[in-house]
């Protein structure tokens, strides 16, 4: 796996990092919709995994706000996020997928992150 390294002085902001970018998604799911959300995510996975999105972790909170789901994805770069969103939107079942997410998810927070230096 590539390690991010700072580019030399004078490099463009877009070229400052090499390696993957991590996508941390926190979803507050309606309690009554949790099972449907899980099924919907199976469909989403079948769409984004073939284009290279890697689900590195999927968690449901036991404490704090219940029915909160945290997904951690590994992407090649920021453009890979855009390719995944386009794949989801152009899939034949996209209307079904988006309707199910709208029905089950109360809020979604998306954060892009880099690997911390102490991560193994």
Please report the domains of the chain, with CATH numbers, ordered by start residue: 25-113 (3.30.70.100)
Separation of alpha carbons 36 and 100, rounded Å: 7
Q: One digit per residue, pLDDT tens: the chain, 120 residues? A: 444 444 444 444 444 556 799 999 999 999 999 999 999 999 999 999 999 999 999 999 999 999 999 999 999 999 999 999 999 999 999 999 999 999 999 999 999 999 999 988
Separation of alpha carbons 55 and 73, rounded Å: 5
pLDDT at 52: 98
- Bridge partners of residue 75, in order along the sequence: 21
State pTM to two decimals. 0.82
Largest interatomic CA distance in the chain = 52
- E-strand ranges in 1-115 read 21-29, 54-60, 68-75, 105-113
pLDDT at 19: 78
């Amino acid at each position: 796996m590539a390690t991010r390294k700072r580019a030399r002085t004078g490099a463009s902001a877009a070229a400052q990092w090499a390696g993957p970018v991590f996508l941390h998604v926190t979803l507050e799911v309606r309690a009554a919709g949790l099972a449907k959300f899980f099924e919907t995510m199976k469909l989403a996975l079948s769409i984004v995994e073939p284009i290279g999105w890697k689900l590195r972790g999927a968690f449901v909170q036991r404490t704090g706000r219940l029915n909160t789901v945290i997904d951690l994805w590994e992407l090649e770069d920021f453009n890979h996020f855009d390719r995944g969103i386009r794949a989801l939107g152009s899939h034949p079942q996209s209307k079904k997928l988006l309707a199910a997410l709208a029905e089950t998810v109360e809020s979604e927070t998306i954060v892009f992150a880099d690997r911390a230096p102490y991560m193994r």
